[in-house]
Structure 1
Amino acid sequence: MRAVLLTLVFLAGLGLAGAAAVVTFGLYNVSAQAGHLPGVSWLLHTTFRNSVALRAPSMEDAPPLDDPDLIALGAGHYATACAFCHAAPGEARAATAAAMVPAPPPIEEAVAQWEPNELHWIVENGVKMTGMPGWPVEERGDEVWAVVAYLVAIQNGQAPKLPEASEGVAYCRTCHEAIAGPVPRLDILSATYIEDQLGLYATGVRPSGIMAQAVSVVEREDFAGLARELAASTTAPTARAIAGDGAAGERLAKQGTRDVPACTACHNGEAGKGPVLHGQSEAYLAQHLKLWREGTYQHNAKMLAAARDLSDAEIAALAAWFASLNSEE
């Protein structure tokens, strides 16, 4: 028995010494042109599939993935953040992307064998040693569903055409003047407020993977001019029908406490203490109230206090009431 144990210890030591030699002397060829040793690709891919299947989130919190606005939002993000590696549906990848090891597959191939919740995990977390990055910010899995909705549309052969490449205000308008639902209207907001939010997105103080990507393709010195143009817009996305209980939302919005003022004290439909919410998208308002309630947003103490104890029903009612109003700004 002793001889067996000594043999095992010797073999383990020999293996460690060999591994140390490979690392120390650079014996392993890391060239992408050399590719992997036989069997390594299969091992990594099998590990990848099983790891994703184990960790993929439940579909219980998924929004309707056939929502055209959600799909359009995902398409807009995909166009600037993902298309370089995976290309647009039906198009060839860039030669540089195709030369990666492992090569990012064309998007139709990349999404073919995955369930929506598995796609969500991959987009949110990325994959080590593949070049696939994670979502630009943490705790914004709600945004990731937009990209998943677009990928599911690809699976179903119903993906919309990606927006044309554009810059400056034209780039911003591909979402903010064309997509309702999860995208806020900017024409009812002041230029000062828009510029401030661009700065918060750029620094990560206001976490958003979609907006982090968007502001990364705009020069910081252009924020002020961009904000003025967007605030002066006369075009807004087509409004959706109001689904929530607006009457209950009105009562709640006008009800304040000693510690937390009424919503309407700041959000009164005019430029002032807070951003204009009158006529804003119901879906957008509800989602962002949840972000305040959950502490994902931290950059305004009053909003944290106001949203902390709201129930889902109260959030839905508030969103419905503000969305049903007309802005005076």
Structure 2
Amino acid sequence: MAWPRTLIARLKSLNWRQQWPAVAVFVGALALGGVLVAVAGIIPIKASSGHWAITDFLLHFAMERSVATHSLSIQAPELAKASLVLRGAGHYETDCRFCHGSPRLRYPPIAQQMTPPPPYLPETVSSWEDRELFYIIKHGVKFTGMPAWPALQRDDEVWAMVAFLRVLPEMDGGEYEQLVWGEIPVSLEAEEAPPAVTKSCGRCHGVDGLGRGVGAFPRLAGQNRDYLYASLEAYGQGKRPSGMMEPIAAELNSEEIKALARYYSGLPPYQPPLPPLREAAAIERGEAIAKQGNQRIASCADCHGPSSIPRNPDYPLLAGQYAEYIILQLELLAQEKRGGTPYVHLMDPIAHRLSPQQREDVARYYTSLTPSGSVDPAKGAP
């Protein structure tokens, strides 16, 4: 075919210095035409009309290429962890299934009237790499209604969503409900729980406050009431970043927060079993740091126990807490991504000075403690 070469030759032969006024007029006319069309309002923006097939193709193609390019440098962590999957499941049920469906309801009727309609994820996630899913979940997609993650600092939460999406296609409705809700016991605690507990909080932290058993969520039972209140306030105000907790806490009023703090602080705390012998060395090292500190940090026990002296009720109790949760909080503090109550700044320099091994040792020590041995007599009320 000779016409491409002919066209290129003709373009090269043009005297652009003489032609630029005509080109400028043409470009200006196009711009003016676009403004006039927009002002006239003749272009329909109704979602009910859908996209033309060519428009739909071009938008999806452009999105796929953009995601592939911008996610090239992202490295996925190990995702086959029960705690990661469980964390992702809780958020999916709260904020994602209303658009993307679940094994119990594949295509939510309202979301299907969006343009473009959100995809049913169990049928589409296999076409994306882990790094690409991470990029989409974290940054959202323009012109689709897909929002960015509410707390861009929390990559750990975004990876939890990716981990959950990887197992979602294998679930039926019953398995999905079991993973999302767990066992909601019929008990005196459940009957006396504030509505928010049975509606949302209990799904992750348990009606009994013990956190579903795999370290995905912190244990709240027996925690300082003031600390729980201050933490929920910090989440709701965006002072403690979390794409999972912020949307929930932001909808709670002061009385609801007080009720939740009072309820969970009044539950019996977790009583850990004897730790396995293989953790004895780590626990011993962690105990030395927690009780004595070292040349770089002060004693942990001064603020978090175990200790018989009264402590600030805005400081969290750590005895019996999941080691995985403590390690994550120390990592976030070291990265200056955690935020929290007005006293959280006291932890920033300490977390920076702990090595990864020391963080794990301290966490193993605290998770081995019986909370009754470090109950704070200074529990206050907000």
Q: TM-score, normalised by structure 1?
A: 0.89
Distance of 2:160 and 2:213 partners within structure 1: 12
Aligned to 1:98: 112
Question: Helix, strand or coil: the match of 2:49?
Answer: coil
1:265 aligns with 2:294: no
Q: TM-score, normalised by structure 2?
A: 0.77
Aligned to 1:43: 58
Relative to structure 1, the CA distance from residue 12 to residue 238 in structure 2 (aligned partners, 3 Å threshold; closer, same or farther) is: farther
- Residues 70 and 181, structure 1, Cα contact 8 Å, conserved in 2: no
Equivalent position to 1:168, from 196, 211, 236: 196
Distance of 1:306 and 1:201 partners within structure 2: 22
Relative to structure 1, the CA distance from residue 99 to residue 238 in structure 2 (aligned partners, 3 Å threshold; closer, same or farther) is: farther
Relative to structure 1, the CA distance from residue 324 to residue 238 in structure 2 (aligned partners, 3 Å threshold; closer, same or farther) is: closer
Give me the CA root mean square deviation.
Answer: 2.8
Distance of 1:22 and 1:256 partners within structure 2: 70
Question: Helix, strand or coil: the match of 2:262?
Answer: helix
Q: Which runs of 5+ in 2 are unaligned?
A: 1-14, 185-194, 207-211, 376-382
What's the offset of the Cα at 1:126?
1.0
- Residues 179 and 237, structure 1, Cα contact 8 Å, conserved in 2: no
Equivalent position to 2:286, from 235, 245, 249: 249
Distance of 1:220 and 1:134 partners within structure 2: 27
Relative to structure 1, the CA distance from residue 235 to residue 261 in structure 2 (aligned partners, 3 Å threshold; closer, same or farther) is: closer
Distance of 2:181 and 2:369 partners within structure 1: 33
Distance of 1:8 and 1:104 partners within structure 2: 42
| Structure 1, 117-126 or 256-265: larger mean CA deviation | 256-265
Equivalent position to 2:334, from 288, 293, 314: 293
- 1:121 maps to a residue whose letter is Y
Determine which structure has more spread, i.e. the larger CA radius of gyration: 2
Q: CA offsets per residue over residues 39-96 of structure 1, 9 Å max, x none? A: 221111111111112222766462x422223212211111110111111125232221
Distance of 1:24 and 1:30 partners within structure 2: 13
1:316 aligns with 2:360: yes
Aligned to 1:67: 81
Relative to structure 1, the CA distance from residue 257 to residue 235 in structure 2 (aligned partners, 3 Å threshold; closer, same or farther) is: closer
Give the fraction of aligned pairs with identical amino acids, expressed as a percent.
Answer: 31
- 1:215 maps to a residue whose letter is A
Distance of 1:238 and 1:262 partners within structure 2: 23
| Structure 1, 153-162 or 5-14: larger mean CA deviation | 153-162
| Structure 1, 163-172 or 19-28: larger mean CA deviation | 163-172
Question: Helix, strand or coil: the match of 2:160?
Answer: helix
What's the offset of the Cα at 1:268?
0.7
Relative to structure 1, the CA distance from residue 129 to residue 236 in structure 2 (aligned partners, 3 Å threshold; closer, same or farther) is: farther
Identify, as 1 or 2, the structure richer in helix. 2
Equivalent position to 1:13, from 5, 20, 28: 28
- Residues 87 and 93, structure 1, Cα contact 8 Å, conserved in 2: yes
Distance of 2:285 and 2:293 partners within structure 1: 14
